Chain A
Amino acid sequence: MAPGEANSGNGGQILKPFTFNEIVLRNRLTALVVDGDNFCRLLEQGILQAYGLETQSVDNGDAAVELIASGAKFDLILIDMLLPILDGLEATRRIRAMGVRCKMLGVTAFSGERERQAFLAAGVDVFVEKPLGPEILIPILRELDEQYPSI
């Protein structure tokens, strides 16, 4: 089976429009991963690092706000909704209130329309139901990469 292919239940082949290995970034982008679940946080960091991003991570909303308030700057923030200490909605609001305009992805196991609207209203640019797939991530990474001038 070639990469990028998977079987549907009836034995048919599914060709993916994107695969994780389809992009080469010219710039060293930076990302912050905010997720209270150890596994999800490490996995999302691993995926971003595989693309050459420099990453940091924190496991609660309060730490994310503190980090941003300390002056840390990121091209991309991935933030979960359900977080300990300070939830993802409030953390997002506070980060945006500080004037941060970077791309924020709300990556959550919630799938309802109510949650989607709430997260977007709080300030994320994109609402992503877990898992974070290349069809969402790759166009965003390309867009961020193109924001930097070519050398």
Chain B
Amino acid sequence: MERNPLRRQLQIMRKSLFDQGYLDEQFVQLEELQDDSNPNFVEEVVTLYYRDSARLILNLEQALERKPYNFNKLDAYMHQFKGSSSSIGAKKVKAESTLFREYCKSGNGEGCMRCFQQLKKEYATLRKKLEAYFQLARQAGPMETACRPK
């Protein structure tokens, strides 16, 4: 049981991110790459993800403004987005990406649009939750963990 109240709060926050389905085991695996030489690895990875994927979100928005929809192009953008989202363990975002691609394959434009709106919500929600998590992690300070063998 964690005695430090901030660390305890951090554990609770982390647990809820998994329990509520926002993150999957890929996130855990990224955390395990974090060590003394890379103490902010996960935050840096997540920051890079949001910076890089903003471009894909914009591409998708612009592509969804053009009618008739180019489903091949939409699918290609989402394919890329799904790959990077799954790499940080963004479970709900990845699920919406998969659904979007199914709508593309069936040529369902309305489905794509609805799904994209939901995806953006999940993407934004996860971002806020992770920002809060990392802010608390910085306040809580480094945890003593076994060093990853070099």
* Residues of chain A at the chain B interface (Cβ within 8 Å): 1, 3-7, 9, 11, 14, 16, 19-21, 23-24, 36-40, 42-43, 46-47, 50, 52, 80, 82, 108-110, 130-134
Contacts and interface: CB of A to CB of B under 8 A. Distances in A.
What is the interface residue range for chain B against chain A?
Answer: 35 or more
The main secondary structure of chain B at its interface with chain A is helix
Nearest to B55: A38
Given A6-B28, A47-B33, 17 more contacts: A3-B32, A5-B28, A6-B25, A9-B18, A11-B19, A16-B29, A20-B148, A24-B150, A37-B83, A39-B49, A39-B53, A46-B45, A52-B150, A82-B76, A130-B86, A133-B25, A133-B29
A110 B83 CA distance: 8
Chain A interface main SS type: loop
A108 B83 contact: yes
B21 interface: yes
Contacts of B53: 39
Interface of B: 11, 14-15, 18-19, 21, 24-33, 35, 38, 41, 45, 48-49, 52-53, 76, 79-80, 82-84, 86-87, 89, 145, 148-150
24 contacts: A1-B11, A1-B15, A3-B28, A3-B31, A5-B28, A6-B18, A7-B18, A9-B18, A14-B25, A16-B25, A20-B30, A21-B32, A21-B148, A23-B149, A24-B149, A37-B84, A43-B45, A43-B48, A43-B84, A52-B150, A109-B80, A130-B83, A132-B87, A133-B26
Nearest to B15: A7
Nearest to A134: B29
A42 B11 CA distance: 28
A130 B87 contact: yes
Contacts of A4: 28, 32
The CB with the most chain A CB atoms within 10 A, among B14, B18, B19, is that of B18
